[in-house]
Structures are given as structure tokens and as C-alpha cells.
Structure 1
Amino acid sequence: MSTPSLADFADEARAFLDAHATPRASDGAVVWGEGPDRVTYFSDEPFEVEQANVQAARDWQRTRFENGFGWITGPKQYGGRELSIAHDLVYDGLEAGYDVPDTGVISLIGLGMIAPTMLAHARPEINEQYLPAMFRGDAIACQLFSEPNAGSDLANVQTKAVRDGDDWVLNGQKVWTSGAQHAQLGMAVCRTNTSVPKHKGITTFLIDMSWEGVDVRPLRQMSGGAEFNEVYLDDVRVPDTHRMGEVDDGWRVTMTTLLNERASVGGEGAGPATRPTSRANLLAMLKATGRDTDGGVRRDFARVIADQAATEYLTSQMMRRARAGDLPGPEASVGKLMFGQNLTRIAHLAAEMTGPRMLADTGDWGTFSWNELLLGTPAFRILGGTEEIMKNILGERVLGLPKEPA
């Protein structure tokens, strides 16, 4: 079958969306005081509501997959269509005009970070087993990377994997694992050799989160939600077929995931907070709060707008490189760095404009609702690699500056 042109593909996508979803009622214009009065990135919904949202995401992902839009760029042998990144972007742009469930719980980590790593390093039979299920929405994946003493210094992982015949036995603790409470699959980074430099003694495994010995414990965030988890691995037996890459070569596998992680985090805009953090909404907020005559606030507003524009241009550059078939480059780390800084600055600007009304609910629209984003901003500057780590990577590996003293 020939590759459809972008125009023909767009027509096909519109027909699918018209048949399975409802166009958004809004024309995109921001009217202060209208629309959802909530500004959040991380969920703090009751568990039952969160579960219902996850199920809706699964259902929509399955509908997309069964109609040829679940993995537009993926290999046909795993249910993809082998079309270009440009086709994928066309579909995303069209779907943005429809009311559909948020599939971030499925796509951001599992499909955006782990699936590309599996394609590059997992065995064909494992990819056959898991990849169609992931892109159909049947299996959600999580990263079992960070540990209490190995966050930004990921090579310091202490979770051990010991060979036992055709299996490996895993023991250790992971922490800050996003989405583990919903996941059926996990990618675990483990220590398999202690007699070599730490980067050279790591191996990665895919584990079924329902296997005996896997214990997921949610961590409560100060914003009220519990999207992060501790995961304990207690004598978890993993078949050697679930090993990704060679023994002790897991750092190379891990870096594949981290490059895709930074590209995903840095290039996704503001996720659920996209509309309230848009330039149009911030300008409407500036006027509605009466701070448009305050020179200091106007200066901070201008800086935020300039940073947003620079990030958008950088994201466009990343997309052009992706269309050309290039792997994520230094822009991924820069994009991730700017993403966290932008949301932090926006939250602080909102605090400046709303004042005490962000701390106590006075009933004024668009004021108290911002505290969820403000309380979530510390996480933006840590997830996917701390700002300090990102700056070191850019300084040492891109600018060629001297390595930071140990």
C-alpha cells in the first residue's frame, strides 16, 4: 500500500475523528471567567476518579489503534503504519480540535520513552508480546529508575539482579516512579556487576508489575495527589528473555530512554496546563487582576512571554530534526530545562498577580485555582533530570567546558 500524502492522511484522520469524537465547542479564544477554573499538571483526583480517567484513556487509545491512528510511525509487524513523523504531527494537530480523553498516562512514559527503547534493545519476541498491547492501551509502562540514593546520579543504582539459571532475581527499592499504580509493565535498571566502574555494571530488564515480589506504594504530594510511587522488588524472578541489551551494558540502554524522556518532557508544552498558561490567558489574567499598570509585573510578564516563544522555536527545531530521522540531540536537554523553568516562572507570575487569593479561596475565578500548579513546580525542575544535571550535561558535552569537580 502506498504512503498517503499529508493531505489525504488529514482527510482520513478528520473522518475518523468526526465518527468517534466531538469537536471542541470553543474556537480557542480565551475569555476570562469562562471555562474550567483549574490549573494543574499533576493529578490530585480521588482514586476512583483517577481510575475512571485511566480507563477512558485506555478506551480511546484502543479506538485509535484499531482504526490505524494508535501508532502512526510504528512498524507494521507490531500494529503500526510506518508513516512519517509529519503524519503523526498532522494527526496530533487535528485531534487537538476534538474533545477526547487525555492519554498522557499511557503515552508520555510508556509510548514516548520505553517503547522506543524496546524497539532498539529488546528481543523480537518480547516486542511482539508487549508493544501491540502498549499501543492498544492494554498495557501501561513505567520507569523503575530512581532510587533513594540514585536519583540524578542514576549510575549509582543499588537494586541488584543476580543470575539464577535462565532467570534473574531482583532485589531493591525504586522511588518517584510515575504511574506505577496503573502500570502492567516496568523497565528496571539494576546493578549486575560491582567490580567495574558503576556505568559499566548495569543491566536493564522488563518486568511484569503483577509478578510476585513487586510492591507498589503511592507517595502523597504536597498538592494532594499521589502520582509518584515507591516500588519494592523482593526476590522478583525475571526470565533472561526480558533482559534488554547485553549484560552490564544497561547504561547504553538507559541513555536511549533518557534521551527520549527529555525530548518528551521538553517538547510536550505544558500538558494539562496548556490553556491557562497560554500567552492569551496570561494577558487576560494580567488585565483582569488590574496589574497591567504595574511596571514590575509587566516586566515579569514580558520575560515569561519571551521565554515561551523561545521554547516554542526550540520545539519546532526538535520536530524538524525528528522529521529528518535524527535522534534527540542537545535541544532535548535544553527543552527540558526551559520547560521546568517556564512553568515555575508562570506560577510565580500568577502568584504575583493574584496575591493572597491564591492561598485562600475567595470565590474569585482564576485565582485560588493556581495553587495546584505552584505546589507542583518543584517537581518540574527535578523530573527527567534535575536542572543542575541538565546544565552539567550541556556545559560538559555540548559546550566542552571542564568537568565539574567530584
Structure 2
Amino acid sequence: METVEETAHRARAWFDDRVPKRLDTESRSGKPWSVAIFTDTSHDDEVRLLDEARAWLQAKWDNRLAGLDWSEEFGGHGLTRAHADAVSAVEAEYDVPHHDLLPITTRLVAPMLRLLGTDEQRATFVGPLARSELVCAQLFSEPAAGSDLAGLTTRATRLDDGGWSISGQKVWSSGAQFAGYGLLLARSDVDVVKHAGITAFLLPLETPGVDVRPLRQMTGGSCFNEVFLDDVRLSDEYRVGEVGGGWKVATTMLGFERDASGDDTTLGGSWIQVLALAEAMGRTGDPSVRPMLADAYTRHVLAKVDVARDLSARLRGTPRGPEGSMRKLQWVEGMVQISETVAQILGPRLVADTGEPETYLWHEHVLGALGYRIAGGSNEIQRGIIAERILGLPSGPRADRGIPFKDIPTA
């Protein structure tokens, strides 16, 4: 079997032949990458970007640089997580095609179905999802059920033929306008407590009654969507897990999401780009800026330590537990701190693209950073998990504990 070192060497040679390097922290050589957290692109450009990202991932699979720790049953290569981590570490040095819909598909939905899907679902969907031949959005949040996801009200009603009729509304569904499927949570029973009455479905988004409407963000793009469901008829073969077992599906996917949330510590810009900005603006000696730069650098170093610690834990076979919430919180707070630093450095220059070197349209970072205080589980939810599961503090009072969903007050 190929060693981890051999895999990393092969990956670096393959990437060198195909994509440019990102800006390097030590030498500052390479290509600066966008500091935007949410992209501002046209629909056609977004489709093109998604196609490029899918082609890139599939090329990696074909060249034994993706799917390394997936079994041959799903088209993988039967190696170890250490091999996959080694390739990811090398790839982080390069400016590769990326689209937000792919991690949802390949790192959340595919592994969840591998664990919880039926034999037929695993055979039909897992391999194509892992390779992004199929792409899938996440249809969880609702206008009144975001942080309190178990309060969702989209209804799934069992039909006489064994199928389902689904009606309701989802929101903040990243990439749904480009996806072929959506992993949907719906309430199938209102006579039990709210966590017990939810059922999950793999919904083809071309099904009659599904209406996907992109939402324009203040950053200019339309990453997110509202999804309206009006008497959507769905065969029971698309149900994932047991009837009433949707919360298990949700927590499994959210576990994968929190495990991955802090992995890309360069999303939306890096410490070296902040430093380059401060130098270009002549602010490195400014007493109002220097402490902020020190804080940004400290977070940068600690993030690298966390990545190394988590890698070591994975190599020991230790699954990430509630520490995933801590990583996500640290990651988001780091992005917000970068926003505060560049706002202090740029001042009025932040509000417009002046074309000056190193400015990199930093307003796109500032406008987008706050969104991740909500995305992937709000900061408040993460702090609650940390308090209860790491610090051992008692949970807060819950007025809906033990009450059937239909009896929970809605006002």
C-alpha cells in the first residue's frame, strides 16, 4: 500500500502541473485569493464555477487523490483517513476550483447516506454523491426554525398508496438552485415531542410542487434560497431512515458539518493578506492597528495548532465530539476579528474598490463574516453545546420539554 508520504508527494506533483499556488505565508509567493466569504457572481458564472469544481473533484477521484478513505464498494480506494488528510493539507496550498454546494454533497449527505441509507439508496446515490456526479442541497432551516431546528413545521403527510405529500417552506438553502436533490426534514407526526416527529427525505428538486427562489444578499450574490413545497408527492423509497427518525439523520449530518466547519481556516482571506494590507497602507506601526495584527497572528497560529491536534486525534482513531463546536466558534470569531482589523486599517477605503494594491475588495469579507455566526449552527448554539458537553454545566430551561408538538405555544 502506498505510504502517506508517497501520497502527499504524488499529490503535490499532480497539483503543481494543474493549478497555481496560493499566496504562501512565509515567502509571499503565489497567487492572492479572494477574501470574499460569499461570492458575488452571475448565475451563469456560478454554474461555470460549479462545473469546474465538480470536474476538479472527479479528476482527483480518477487519479487516486479523492475518495482515498472510501471503500471500493463506493468507488473509493480503500486507503486511510491519514492519506486523505495528507492530500487535503497539500491541496490547501493551491488555488483550486471550489463551490459551496460540493462540501454539502460530498462531506455531509454522502457519508450520512452511507451510514443511514437503505441498501438500494447506498447503491444508487452514495458513490455519485461522493464524486459530485449528483449534487444535493440541505433543506433544514425554516423561517421560524433555524437555531431551534426541531421546531420545523414543514408537513409530511402519509398517503393511502404509501407515499407522502409534503408542504411547507425552507430557507437559507445554499446552492439549491443548482442542485438535483435536497436532503429534506419534515414533520410527520405532531402528536409526539418535537424531536420525535420528524422524517427525512432525499427530494428530487425537479418534482412538481417544488419552487426554488434565490435570495439576494447584501454582498450582491445569491448563494442562498427559499424553497417552497406545495403538495409535493414523493414515493416512500426516497425516505431516509425510519419514519420519525429524521432527528437522527439531522444530528448525523450536523455532526459531519461541525467536524468540517473549521477545517478551511483560510476562507475569506488569511493572516498574511491582512499583514500585506497593513504594510501597503503604511499602518504596521500604528498603535491602534498593531494590537489587532498581533491578535490576528495569534489566532492564525492557534488555528494551525488546532488543525494539527485534530489530525493527531483522527490518526489515533478518536472521533471529534463537542470539540467541533469549539472549532467552529473559534473559526468564526477569527473571521470577525479579521473584519475588525481590516476595517480599522482601511477606514473610508473599505466602502469602495479603490484599486489600490493589497486591498482585495475587503468589504466583501466584512459583509460576509457575520453570516457565519449563524451558518452551520449559530454561535449561541455552539456555546450551549460547549457549556453542557465540555464544561458539564446544566442545560437551560425548556418550556417545550415532554410536550407534544401540537401543544407547544407558537406565539
> Could you tell me the TM-score, scaled by structure 2's length?
0.90
State the percentage of identical aligned residues. 37
Matches within 5 A, 1:98-247: 98=94, 100-106=96-102, 108-164=103-159, 165-247=161-243
Alpha-carbon separation, structure 2, partners of 1:70 and 1:168: 36
Alpha-carbon separation, structure 2, partners of 1:333 and 1:27: 28
Matching of residue 61 in structure 1 with residue 74 in structure 2: no
Alpha-carbon separation, structure 2, partners of 1:227 and 1:247: 31
Contact 1:314/1:331, CA 8 A, preserved across alignment: no
Change beyond 3 A, Cα 1:320–1:166: farther
Consecutive unaligned residues in structure 2, runs of 5 or more: 399-411
Mean alpha-carbon deviation: is it higher for 306-315 or for 182-191? 306-315
Contact 1:358/1:368, CA 8 A, preserved across alignment: no
Contact 1:58/1:138, CA 8 A, preserved across alignment: yes
Alpha-carbon separation, structure 1, partners of 2:199 and 2:285: 58
Alpha-carbon separation, structure 2, partners of 1:256 and 1:231: 23
Mean alpha-carbon deviation: is it higher for 226-235 or for 53-62? 53-62
Alpha-carbon separation, structure 1, partners of 2:99 and 2:33: 21
Mean alpha-carbon deviation: is it higher for 288-297 or for 120-129? 288-297
2:87 corresponds to which of 88, 91, 102: 91
Change beyond 3 A, Cα 1:328–1:114: farther
Q: Which residue identity lines up with residue 135 of structure 1 in the other structure?
A: A
1:7 corresponds to which of 5, 8, 17: 5
Matches within 5 A, 1:192-341: 192-271=188-267, 273=268, 276-278=269-271, 280-341=272-333
Which residue in 1 is equivalent to 2:403?
A: none
Contact 2:66/2:84, CA 8 A, preserved across alignment: no
Which residue in 2 is equivalent to 1:396?
A: 388
Consecutive unaligned residues in structure 1, runs of 5 or more: none
Change beyond 3 A, Cα 1:83–1:223: same
2:392 is paired with a residue whose SS is coil
Alpha-carbon separation, structure 1, partners of 2:169 and 2:348: 40
Which residue in 2 is equivalent to 1:347?
A: 339
Alpha-carbon separation, structure 1, partners of 2:28 and 2:314: 35
Alpha-carbon separation, structure 2, partners of 1:305 and 1:9: 31
1:51 is paired with a residue whose SS is helix
Alpha-carbon separation, structure 2, partners of 1:98 and 1:277: 14
Alpha-carbon separation, structure 1, partners of 2:224 and 2:22: 34
Contact 1:114/1:257, CA 8 A, preserved across alignment: yes
Matching of residue 357 in structure 1 with residue 349 in structure 2: yes
Which residue in 2 is equivalent to 1:42?
A: 38
1:296 is paired with a residue whose SS is coil
Change beyond 3 A, Cα 1:77–1:37: closer
Alpha-carbon separation, structure 1, partners of 2:266 and 2:34: 14
Alpha-carbon separation, structure 1, partners of 2:63 and 2:223: 30
Alpha-carbon separation, structure 2, partners of 1:238 and 1:156: 22
1:267 is paired with a residue whose SS is coil
Contact 2:137/2:173, CA 8 A, preserved across alignment: yes
Alpha-carbon separation, structure 1, partners of 2:111 and 2:166: 24
Which residue in 2 is equivalent to 1:385?
A: 377
2:394 is paired with a residue whose SS is coil
1:188 is paired with a residue whose SS is strand
Which residue in 1 is equivalent to 2:407?
A: none
Change beyond 3 A, Cα 1:200–1:186: same
Q: Which residue identity lines up with residue 327 of structure 1 in the other structure?
A: P
Q: CA deviation at 1:97?
A: 4.8
